[in-house]
Amino acid sequence: MDVFSQIAGLEKPTATGNLRQQIVDLLCEMGESLGFTVLVNQDVACEWIMDKQRIAIEVQFGNADEYYKSLRALVLSGASHCVLIISSKSRSLSIQQAQQMLGEKFSTTQKQFLIFDIETKQKILVGQPEKKPEAKAMQNAQNLQKQNQTKNPLHQDGLAQGQWPSGRGFQGQRGKPNASSFLPDKNSSMLRGQRRKMIYGKKGEHKKQD
């Protein structure tokens, strides 16, 4: 379940009255329908908690100082996922300015942020989830393999450039061929055939060799 997508699908209330409070009420209902325990406190608008997942949500339509306080409260909340809902009609900070303030004033390396404009449905995601250790190790291994292939490219025969195959007639893996090793072996059938002598004569007679 993508919680950010659920929140970004929130519709602006049409009833008159306190817009912020109406949005907070809708968020509480949404969190409960998704199976979260919903907490309302003075620091942020509400928090959704389920097992080890914790989502802090703030709704802000005020001035720049109030935006800063809301972002600070989200960062200090301890939640891994944070949501700031704004309204472009408030004529305070745009969604891009809110993103800029978040990046310049706070560290979000351990968090994921969603900044959502309730008026235009525009959303900005900030921060990426931390990779698991095994995913990091696999990525590092793949990067190392690519580096080795770049430094030592293979030919079609599977040998690296400048590499000689090991075995008889070669001096090590990168040695050059020994000329004497290309001569046939002394016990080979080729030499045996060359040394064989033809013998003439009848049985019992002294035989001559050619």
In a domain, 58, yes or no: yes
In a domain, 13, yes or no: yes
Buried b (16+ CB within 10 A) or exposed e, 196-205: eeeeeeeeee
In a domain, 144, yes or no: no
Whether the model clears a pTM of 0.85, i.e. scores above it, the answer is no
CA 91, CA 187: separation in Å to the nearest integer? 97
CB contact set of 125 (below 8 Å; sequence gap of 6+)? 4, 112, 113, 114
pLDDT at 161: 54
Q: Which domain holds residue 9?
A: 3-126
Q: Number of structural domains, the chain? A: 1
pLDDT band at residue 17 using 50, 70 and 90 as cut-offs? confident
pLDDT at 170: 45
Q: What's 51's domain CATH number?
A: 3.40.91.20
Q: Within 13 Å and on the Cβ side, how many CA atoms surround 30? A: 19
CA 154, CA 196: separation in Å to the nearest integer? 47
Q: Mind listing the pLDDT tens digit for each residue in 105-146? A: 998 778 899 999 999 999 999 986 544 445 555 666 677 777
In a domain, 141, yes or no: no
Contact between residue 145 and residue 137 where contact means Cβ atoms under 8 Å apart: no
Nearest to 26 by CA among 111, 15, 43, 98: 15
In a domain, 29, yes or no: yes
Q: Mind listing the pLDDT tens digit for each residue in 151-207? A: 655 555 555 555 555 554 444 445 555 555 555 555 555 545 455 555 555 556 655
CA 117, CA 94: separation in Å to the nearest integer? 9
Please state at what angle helix 64-76 crosses helix 95-105, rounded to 10 degrees: 50
In a domain, 168, yes or no: no
In a domain, 174, yes or no: no
10 or 188, greater pLDDT: 10
In a domain, 188, yes or no: no
